[in-house]
Amino acid sequence: MAFSCTPRGFSCLSKIHVLFIRPETRGYTRSLHRNPIKILTSEEAKKSSRKPSLVYHDSISDPPDKKEQQRTQKNIRVKHTSLKIPKYGQVDDSTVTTKNPQSAFRSFLSSNPKKKDIINTTAKGPKSGRMTILACGEKLEVDIVTEKLIAERTLSSIIQNVKSTKARQASGKILLEGERLISDAMHAGVHAEAIFFSNLKLLTTLPLKSHTSTKLYQVNQDKIQLWSDLITSPGIMGVFDVSNLQDSNFYEHIPLTIICDNVRDPGNMGSIIRCAAAVGCKNLITTRDCVDVWDSKVLRAASGAHFRTKLTLNVDWDLIAGNFVTQDDTVLLADPCVQETSTTSHPVGGKNTLGSQLSWLERENSSKAKTVEILANGNAQLRDSSYLDEKNLRIYRNLPLPNFAYDKLNLDAASITLVIGGETHGLSSAAHKLAHDYGGLKVFIPLTNEVNSLNAGVAMGILVYELRRLFLQKKKHTSETQKK
């Protein structure tokens, strides 16, 4: 049926002719996108072809009848008198047949030397060349895989193991993009499994001399851009193993532990990690509800700070108390929603009397909640299941804690644990229980001009540098006292 589009609508130009054809021939997959002109049955195909056919049958169509077979062999004998035609279903002993198309293609090339010289069938391994490059100001000979097909396939297979959070946690591998991140990771001693680059100049800033086992692949820029999270890819990617990060290269630190609670924004998490490394905190702990610290956005926001501070990731609240927080620590909750209740300075480390009000609750649950587990490496860890009891945690959340401004604190504690909450969900009930158990308090930053809160990364930077000032002031006072 044919139609033509006119301003007034559709007009019929011809009569309707409907042809029903029985679908007995071979079907094709949708991916081939074939549009046949006409579909013929096997009987119609035989009648329409007058020339003899050399193809007897395939895996779907029926074998020809005896008359068709005799007619075909007779026509071939007339044209080729020296050709010996075997009977249908028989195979000549001198002819080797195979069902593998690759082996048949190789045998065809072996019988045609001109074609064999032009076409290269299968390579034994990836093409790699020994090249001399300039890395960190030193000339170095490295092996680089230059065969594009092998390099692109390797990149595609590796990317699948590092793109998602579950895959990263299972494999212990991460993907870094850009010269700076890759260089920071390699200088920190993190093992680099493979580096994919588009230009040799991108390798000049990498310490390849100390990473001789790293495999180098040269890939086209468009293939790297395909897997990149950036609008314009820098042209270099690296796959690193972070399952066993060593803290031997970390610099000196202050007795400060930071716990990230419900921090789910990648930008805030990156700023917190960067600030924690800059201030020199002892340990940075993330809970289960936090964003993955190896996410690409977190890595870019931290600018290589992941490899300059100690990270303890995805820790449950029942493992934090007793394993990462000791009795000498004072817990500070950074809460932007509190109001100032005291204008006098409060000594950080002075225990409040609120713990005595909860003695009845602790006596009821202490004997059943705490258990000791022996790990596979022989170490023991304490697990307190009371931090998972939602009914009791609601009680701790509603109990008051002393609130003080950050500039009204005096440092009396040997070490401090600072808990940072997310902007959306804030501090959890388990964080409030931790503060009650260790005689903690809430600190806040005074705000003006009707500003409700600060960015979590900005607020954390103000607090930790004030705590650093107090620690250094106390250390200086202690040294002057010892000299006298």
**Could you report the per-residue pLDDT of 407-422, keeping only the tens digit for each?**
888 877 889 999 999 8
**Band of pLDDT at residue 154, cut at 50, 70 and 90:** very high
Type and span of the H or E element at 238: strand 236-241
Q: Does the pLDDT value for residue 14 go beyond 60?
A: no
Provide, rounded to the nearest whole percent, the portion of the chain with pLDDT above 90: 35
Q: Show the CA angle centred on residue 101, arms to residues 98 and 105, nearest 5°.
A: 100
Helix (H, G, I), strand (E, B) or coil at 348: strand
pLDDT at 380: 83
**Band of pLDDT at residue 167, cut at 50, 70 and 90:** confident
What one-character-per-residue DSSP string does 290-347 give? SPPTTSHHHHHHHTTGGGSS-EEEEE-HHHHHHHTB-TTEEEEEE-TT------S-EE
Mean predicted confidence (pLDDT) in 235-249: 82
Strand 9-12 and strand 128-135: pairing? unpaired
Unique residue bearing structure tokens 């329409």 = 48
Let me know how long the chain is: 484
Nearest to 345 by CA among 246, 466, 233: 466
The mean predicted confidence, pLDDT, of the chain is 76
Phi first, then psi, for residue 68 (nearest 5°) are -65, -40
Query: 409, 345 in Cβ contact below 8 A?
Result: yes
Q: Residue 171 and residue 159: Cα distance in Å, rounded? A: 12
Strand 3-6 and strand 9-12: pairing? antiparallel
Task: Supply 371's token pair.
Answer: 């258990």
DSSP classification of residue 422? B
Phi first, then psi, for residue 421 (nearest 5°) are -100, 160
Q: Does the pLDDT value for residue 90 go beyond 80?
A: no
pLDDT at 101: 53
Query: 432, 333 in Cβ contact below 8 A?
Result: yes
Rg (CA), the chain: 37
Query: 389, 365 in Cβ contact below 8 A?
Result: yes
How far is CA 290 from each of CA 16, 277, 285, 294, rounded to the nearest angstrom?
66, 18, 10, 11
Mean predicted confidence (pLDDT) in 451-462: 89
pLDDT at 29: 47
Task: Supply 149's token pair.
Answer: 């097909």
Query: 465, 276 in Cβ contact below 8 A?
Result: no
Q: Does the pLDDT value for residue 361 go beyond 70?
A: no
Q: Show the CA angle centred on residue 438, arms to residues 432 and 444, nearest 5°.
A: 55
pLDDT tens-digit profile of 271-296?
Answer: 999 999 999 999 999 999 999 999 99
Mean predicted confidence (pLDDT) in 216-238: 92
Phi first, then psi, for residue 304 (nearest 5°) are 85, 5
Does residue 297 or residue 170 have the better pLDDT? Answer: 297
Helix (H, G, I), strand (E, B) or coil at 419: strand
Helix (H, G, I), strand (E, B) or coil at 92: coil
Type and span of the H or E element at 482: helix 456-483
Type and span of the H or E element at 277: helix 266-279
Q: Name the burial class of residue 279, with classes exposed (0-12), middle (13-18) and buried (19+) by CB atoms within 10 angstroms of its CB.
A: buried
Q: Does the pLDDT value for residue 316 go beyond 90?
A: yes
Query: 253, 280 in Cβ contact below 8 A?
Result: yes
Highest mean pLDDT of the ranges 45-49, 96-100, 122-126, 246-250: 45-49
